[in-house]
Amino acid sequence: MEIPRPAPPRSAPEREMLEAWLDFHRTTLERKCHGLSPAQLRKRAVPPSALSLLGLVRHMADVERNWFRRALAVAYPRAADNVSRSLPIRLKGVNQPIIRT
């Protein structure tokens, strides 16, 4: 089953553009991981690289969490502490959460 990937707009208001590009990149990674076993997700892409799809998922989650935490800290200082609890990422077939908060 192919996972449809949304096409982000070329021009849109800032929030709409941000959400569209986040959806695009999240879906791209989801498509690459779809149907893979936990062992395949952990497999290194090209030796001696330490990069795996699971590592890429962790990286993207960390980047998003960090960015939203910093952005919210400026606009809503008290809300920033709750961001990490609201962004868990899980993959089917992987027993433990990818991001632990």
Span 34-53, average pLDDT: 86
DSSP letter, residue 9: P
Whether residue 79 is predicted with pLDDT greater than 50 in this model: the reply is yes
Instruction: Give the predicted TM-score (pTM) of the model.
Output: 0.60
Which amino acid is it at 46? V
> What pLDDT shows up at residue 84?
47
- Examine the pLDDT at 89 and tell me if it is beyond 70: no
Nearest CA to 8 out of 20, 16, 26 is that of: 20
Q: At what angle do helices 14-33 and 53-75 cross, to 10 degrees?
A: 160
Tokens of 21: 């590009």
pLDDT of residue 73: 67
Structure token digits, residue 32: 């690459």
Query: Does 13 sit behind a cis peptide bond, omega within 30 degrees of 0 on the bond before it?
Result: no
